[in-house]
Structure 1
Amino acid sequence: MSETIETWFDQPLVFTIAARHVRGRLVRLGPVLNTIMAAHSYPPVAEKLLAEALVLTVLLGSTLKDEGGQLTLQAQTGGGPVELLVCDYKGGELRGYLKFDAEKLAEIGPDPTLFALFGEGFLAITFDQATTGERYQGIVPLEGSSIGDAAEHYFEQSEQIPSLIKLAARHDAEAGCVAGGLLVQHLPEGEVGRDRLHVRHDHPEWEHARTIAATLKDEELTDPATSLETLAWRLFHEDEVRVEAGVTVSRGCRCSVDYFAGVLAQFPDGERRDMADGDGKIVVDCAFCSRIFPIPLDEISGQH
């Protein structure tokens, strides 16, 4: 493994272990995570949930080979205090939003289960391919100890890819909110690079790699002083590990007056007038960045 690469924050590290037929990704979010969180005043439980979901979104979204493709992660409630969780990744741009009942969330304690957060909710993972226009979506129950467990069920059910996902988040006194994640997947011999794989779960090489990957601690994932290359080497130093830095992640809310005006232009004139306030403006609230956009009706009509 090259000693010259050092990956720390907001950039996934892609690695391959050919001898074990394994591929994976490591990522640690810091500055971009704090930029996203700064738009809202999330309590600690909500911050941790959203941080881990954003890490998962980067791990999955960075697997897209289509540069214009988009990965959307959506978790919806089945009666729990969290009503909606939405994250998406497109070309390195990341955004996320959490809607919840603050009173109910405060009642469930500092370390709730997925069921306590969502009830009998579900997780939808959607891959949109820009080049072909194809869309792949898998929906699985929100079961397990973390949203990463639910994503593992997605790969098992929808993709038939044995996978291990580890997510961790904490609040650091200096770095603010820090979250990290590991995705490890099995590639049967001769199948490297394929998007959809069908393999046996009892493959000895996979079981060995999975057991080793599972030893990675939450503190290591979120340690600002440890590079991602160091983590990969610690885990898999018995084998040759090939690493490559992925696309740097940035906050990517796509809201703007022009964007919203274009969306509103699709509505009939009468409906737009009903939406407008007494000053002749339609006020749009972007949930992702918590900004208000007052859009005059005459600017919307100019979008036609």
Structure 2
Amino acid sequence: MRIKSISSGIWTAVALAVAVAWAFPVYWMFNSSFLPNAVLQSATPTFLPFGGSFDNFKAVFADGKFVAALGISLSVTLTTVAVALFVAFLGALAISRFKFKGRKSFILAMLLIQMLPAEGMFIAQYKMMSSVGLLNNVLGLTLLYTAAVIPFTIWMLRGFVAGVPAELEEAGMVDGLSRTQAFMRITFPLLAPGLVASGVYAFLQAWNEFTVALVVMTEDQMKTLPLWLRGFVQASATRETDWGLVMAASMMVAVPVIIFFMIVQSKMSSGLVGGAVKG
């Protein structure tokens, strides 16, 4: 028992060391965002933001392009999540609950689509958006993001839907519920963790995506936050790089993700674990 306790303590220490190493860059970004550039460039590192200020954040908000980029990113991301979850949910129900011709081919096609490198489709995507007048357009970028996340989202939700026995709905129908009522009252609440986990995936994919937006959104006033951050860093690099400003800008890009995780974290863990053991 003593050897087992020592072994457990060692593994706990290793896990804590790995966690600290993983979290330190995030903390360093947070810490640096409050410090002036002179302090950051000093030979002695400052690990606590004592004596710091919000000047870097004020400078970020003073850049008028930030608010516009934030609005575009929010519009594209939230629309992508909503549409992708709706379409993927219906697709997951179809391949899990119904037998139809071409079902296996459809599932195989979803997996093959995920293997295609995104870079190989840039020219086709650009020409397609250009032909329908959706370059530098929120709708055009949303369509591309939605198409990109739907296949994997269907695959994720398929496991959750398959893990809920159809007999539960049938039992509800025996008790007098219609098929729709049985689904909404019995099955749908059980799928909530899966929808949250899939929504987190879609949110991160759309919020952090850079390359497709770089190809499609070419005008300065139509930049998403990752594109704005790139331009912000490049503008800083034309003079002496102000790392405090860069870290503050990075924090502003990360804050909406943190808020989103705080809202859904209670459901996200159960959703990810549930998806691992179902289907």
TM beyond 0.5: no
- For the pair shown, the structure with the greater C-alpha radius of gyration is 2
After TM superposition, the score normalised by the length of structure 2 is: 0.23
After TM superposition, the score normalised by the length of structure 1 is: 0.22
Structure with the larger RCO, 1 or 2 (CA within 8 Å, 6+ apart)? 2
